[in-house]
């Protein structure tokens, strides 16, 4: 059984010394589920990974019942930095045991752990926590973020967010050691009705604030209006419509990316613009 967790303080409850911090997730996983998030990570963190003097460490925290997301993260980051070391961390011993046959030490390893992020040696350049905090109360999020950010290298990045089961819709928050920086919305545009369809994948820190009068609700409402106005561009494909909508949205929201990323079905906003 995993350690119990106090959502009010985001601290581990009293229990056996050395027990991982957190609770077991549902473990749902599919191949290529996190490809959109990984693509953004490789782009955003690529320069940092390449500049590292020693092989950088990346963590897939809470990879689930099967190791596919960790295996895929390792492959995608190797395209940026061939000697990157990916550590898959899971709180459930059986999941760690099931992943071990896929290990490629030292480039890909698996170990038991939780929010304490047990690592040997260098801190992490990346911690990816996808679909992990959704099961927690919102009150726990700030404490978990603080704990995870403390395990980052000074130039490291925590990426925490949620996606659907087959990776069509994602929303994630990127954090540095100092705290949250940006929020990214990403989608398979061919199956998107309107941008606010992404609301169901908002991270725990935002999902309960998607109500009138809150910034994230206003952002999605404006995005829907821009998407509707860009309908004529749909004749050239959903990608052109998304780019046109983002171009219009940039007139009223401080988007931090540009056309090159919008063409990937992404848009990124400063955390300060959407923070509750």
- Domain architecture of the chain: domains with CATH: 1-177 (3.40.50.150), 188-276 (no CATH)
Distance CA 70, CA 66 (A): 9
- Enumerate helices (H) and strands (E) in the chain, giving the number of each: 9, 10
H helix intervals, the chain: 35-51, 68-78, 93-99, 141-149, 204-207, 215-229, 238-249, 259-262, 271-274
Q: What angle do CA 49, 134, 3 make, to 5 degrees?
A: 90
Take residue 71 and report the two structure tokens written for it: 């295996």
For every one of its 276 residues, what pLDDT tens digit does the chain have, with 9 covering 90 and above?
233 333 333 333 333 347 899 988 877 788 999 999 999 999 999 999 999 999 999 999 999 999 999 999 999 999 999 999 999 999 999 999 999 999 999 999 999 999 999 999 889 999 999 999 998 999 999 999 999 999 999 999 999 999 999 999 999 999 999 999 999 999 999 999 999 999 999 999 999 999 999 999 999 999 999 999 999 999 999 999 999 999 999 999 999 999 999 999 999 999 999 999
pTM of the predicted protein model: 0.92
Distance CA 190, CA 95 (A): 34
């Amino acid at each position: 059984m995993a350690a119990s967790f106090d959502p009010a303080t985001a601290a581990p409850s009293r229990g056996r010394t050395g027990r991982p911090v957190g609770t077991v997730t549902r473990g749902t996983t599919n191949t290529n589920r996190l490809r959109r998030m990984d693509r953004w990570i490789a782009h955003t963190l690529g320069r940092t990974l390449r500049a590292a003097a020693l092989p950088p460490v990346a963590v897939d925290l809470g990879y689930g019942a099967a190791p596919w997301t960790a295996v895929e993260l390792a492959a995608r980051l190797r395209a940026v930095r061939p000697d990157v070391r990916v550590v898959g961390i899971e709180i459930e011993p059986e999941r760690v045991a099931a992943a071990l046959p896929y290990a490629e030490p030292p480039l890909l390893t698996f170990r038991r752990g939780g929010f304490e992020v047990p690592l040997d040696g260098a801190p992490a350049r990346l911690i990816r926590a996808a679909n992990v905090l959704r099961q927690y109360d919102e009150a726990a999020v700030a404490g978990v973020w603080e704990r995870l950010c403390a395990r980052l290298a000074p130039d490291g990045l925590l990426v925490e967010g949620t996606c659907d089961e087959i990776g069509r819709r994602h929303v994630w928050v990127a954090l540095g050691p100092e705290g949250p920086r940006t929020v990214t919305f990403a989608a398979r545009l061919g199956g998107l009705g309107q941008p606010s369809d992404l609301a169901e994948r908002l991270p725990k820190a935002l999902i309960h604030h998607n109500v009138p009068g809150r910034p994230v609700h206003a952002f999605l409402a404006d995005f829907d209006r821009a998407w509707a106005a860009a309908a004529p561009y749909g004749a050239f494909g959903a990608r052109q419509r998304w780019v046109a909508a983002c171009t219009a949205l940039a007139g009223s929201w401080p988007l931090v990316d540009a056309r090159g990323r919008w063409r990937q079905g992404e848009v990124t906003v400063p955390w300060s613009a959407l923070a509750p």
